């Protein structure tokens, strides 16, 4: 799935000459935490976040918003341009959501402006958008059961798994394949759109597969500390 199909396309933006109060009000009115900063041609100039504003504003103004306008002169000289992140990390509409997930983890940010090759703002992709995209991809919006199967890394294993499921007339929401600590094996996680999986489990065992508890498998993968 590409970023283009998961991003928010109607982006709320702000001009670099706007005041911090304007940015704060726009975020509050639209229930957002990130504001791309663009010029008159929709070229991306930067991004400002609610954290940037909190860091720039005196604590008392944030705790007493009713007095903020009375003391606005203290901050009137500050504009969005003064505190925005210039040249922010961006992503392309044709990158995948997997690319975006890795980028968010590596860069520790909450959202990416989405720009084309000319630097024109096309959208914004946040962690919330990514979660929604993966929920749709994995099919976990519907009730069901997550099963884990340990398999040998060889051709034909996935077909055996799918055949065992379809023979029981069970629908598959998604299938994920993860690395295993044994080089010649893989952990396969299947989300079945049913809560009645006893017969499917029996099929797997008859086919020679080892069943995994997904939560125990996850905990086994966590780093061990002394």
Residues 6 or more apart whose CB falls under 8 angstroms from that of 121 comprise: 11, 13, 36, 38, 42, 43, 44, 113, 114, 115
Q: Which domains does the chain have, with CATH numbers?
A: 3-135 (3.10.580.10), 142-221 (3.30.70.260)
Copy the structure tokens of residue 226.
């002394």
Digitized pLDDT (tens) for each residue of the chain, 226 residues in all: 899 999 999 999 999 999 888 999 999 999 999 999 999 899 999 999 999 988 887 644 544 555 555 555 666 678 999 999 999 999 999 999 889 988 988 888 889 999 999 999 999 999 889 888 877 777 667 788 988 999 988 899 999 999 999 999 999 988 888 877 677 888 898 999 999 999 999 999 998 999 988 767 654 554 444 4
Output the pTM of the full model. 0.67
């Amino acid at each position: 799935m590409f970023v283009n199909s998961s991003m928010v396309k109607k982006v709320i933006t702000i001009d670099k000459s706007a005041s911090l109060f304007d940015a704060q009000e726009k975020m509050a009115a639209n229930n957002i935490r990130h504001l791309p900063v663009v010029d008159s041609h929709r070229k991306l100039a930067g991004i400002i976040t609610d954290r940037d504003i909190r860091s720039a504003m005196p604590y008392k103004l944030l705790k007493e918003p009713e007095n903020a306008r009375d003391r606005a002169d203290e901050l009137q000289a500050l504009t969005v341009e003064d505190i925005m992140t210039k040249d922010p990390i961006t992503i392309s509409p044709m990158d995948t959501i997997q690319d975006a997930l890795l980028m968010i983890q590596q860069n520790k940010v909450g959202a990416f402006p989405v720009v084309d090759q000319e630097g024109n703002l096309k959208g914004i992709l946040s962690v919330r958008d990514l979660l929604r995209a993966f929920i749709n991809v994995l099919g976990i919006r519907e009730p069901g059961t997550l099963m884990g199967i340990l398999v040998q890394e060889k051709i034909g294993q996935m077909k055996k798994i799918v055949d065992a499921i379809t023979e029981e007339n069970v629908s598959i929401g998604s299938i994920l394949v993860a690395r295993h600590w044994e080089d010649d094996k893989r952990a396969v996680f299947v989300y079945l759109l049913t809560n009645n999986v006893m017969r499917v489990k029996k099929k797997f065992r008859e086919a020679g597969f080892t069943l995994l508890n997904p939560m125990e498998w996850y905990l086994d993968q966590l780093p061990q500390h002394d």
